[in-house]
Amino acid sequence: MTSLLRVATGGTQTTLQDLGRFGYQRFGLPVAGALDPFSLRLANALVGNDPAAAAIEILGHGPTFEVDAESVRVAFTGSHAGFEVNGEEATIVPSYRSHTVYRGERLAVRAMPDSQVGYLAVEGGFEIEPVLGSLSTYTRAGIGGFGGRALRGGDALPLTLPRASERTERRLAAPPSIGHECAIRLILGPQHEAFTREAVETLLTSTFTVSRDVDRMGMRLDGPTLEHSGGFNLVSDGIATGCIQVPGSGQPIVLLADHQTTGGYPKIGSVISADIPLLGRRRPGDNIRFKEVSVPQAEAARRSAERDILQAIKSIADAPPLRGIDLDCLYNRNLISGVIDAWD
């Protein structure tokens, strides 16, 4: 009998994503893949998958699943919201740890107050045929993932494993910060000369706000306008993830995973690859500040980010039971200050 993860409700936008579909941009097909590739890799590591395996990417309001398999091991990352399992009794499962869910139980991803994106990895992954070497969903072309579209109620995802493996649940020693306080680093160009000196200074000294006009393709920012020094139409050239295009309105658009492969608006700068995950987590209404770095600094930042994620994966250890006293919290966390504050 096929093991399934059934979709009860699909959430705002829930798709299958891996690290992307490489080698096809010259044909007009974007890489797609996870908005936050670091969180995807952590989710996979927690359940013992290959880091590049496909997981369920969740944007905004979370979905609900029902287990139609003997058991399924899952882990949720990208947000500290966690998820809820409704079986014989309700269980709240923290983020950044694995948990086994059994036949007939429902798994509901809770509202994410701290991030726009989260990832639910399933041990063993999904028994779905890749498209051009990837399970990433690109909805605009209707390819990849589950039927080339977002998940909706009634869908059933076939699982590779009939049951969860016999092993101890695992957790990340120190869940990472969401990073909303961090400035987003960028390299100026390739067409920053197409803007006035004041526009470049405004980009680097102002605070912008993520508008409601945001999806997997791009993120329009509200804030001061950026003035072009001449026209704003160019001969179309290549686009990379993180490019900041500025159309005639002067409002910048940061291009994300599903971006077009070419474009004709001037690009004032490009977000460095190490900060793409931070960008993917920003929600409508969140603030963004930019900081200029050099190419060598961007390369060093990417190497540092890679060391950090490898160290985080190395730190994954056995998790204590969810029920009962968590001795790690009891001995190593400050559980007293709240009581003192209550008496003050």
- The answer, yes or no, to whether residue 12 has pLDDT greater than 90, is yes
Please, what are the domains in the chain? 4-178 (no CATH), 184-293 (2.40.100.10)
Share of the chain above pLDDT 70, in %: 93
pLDDT band at 158 (very low <50, low <70, confident <90, very high): very high
One-letter amino acid for residue 108 of the chain: A
What confidence score (pLDDT) does residue 88 get?
63
Q: 276: part of which helix (H) or strand (E)?
A: helix 276-281
CA distances in angstroms from 244 to 111, 120, 177, 209, 269, listed in the order given: 29, 29, 25, 14, 5
Burial 109-148 (b: 16+ CB within 10 A, else e): bbebebbbbbbbbbbbbbebeebeebbbbbbeeebbbbee
Average pLDDT over residues 310-330: 76
Write the pLDDT tens digit of every residue in 220-240: 999 999 999 988 888 889 999
Report the pLDDT value the prediction gives residue 52, as an integer from 0 to 100. Answer: 93
- Per the CB < 8 A criterion, the answer to whether 53 and 161 are in contact is no
Pairing between strand 55-59 and 13-17?
antiparallel
- pLDDT at res. 61: 87
Confidence of residue 284 (pLDDT cuts 50, 70, 90): very high
Evaluate if residue 327 carries a pLDDT over 70. Answer: no
Stretch 175-193: mean pLDDT: 93
CA distance 263 to 159: 39
Q: What is the pLDDT of residue 87?
A: 65
Model confidence pLDDT, tens digit, residues 28-83 = 999 999 999 999 999 999 999 999 999 999 998 899 999 999 999 999 999 999 99
Mean pLDDT of 265-291: 96
- Provide mean pLDDT across the span 119-144: 97
User: Edge-to-edge strand order for the sheet containing 106-109?
Assistant: 90-93, 83-86, 106-109, 64-68, 4-9, 156-158
Q: What's the chain's length in residues?
A: 344
Specify the range with the lowest mean pLDDT, choosing from 101-105, 109-113, 157-161, 294-298: 109-113
Predicted local confidence at residue 323, as pLDDT: 62
Residue 344 has pLDDT above 60, yes or no: no
CA distance linking residue 40 with residue 335, whole number of Å: 31
pLDDT of residue 210: 97
CA distance linking residue 109 with residue 119, whole number of Å: 10
How far apart are alpha carbons 3 and 161 in whole angstroms? 7
**Any idea which of 16-25, 136-145, 174-183, 274-283 has the lowest mean pLDDT?**
174-183
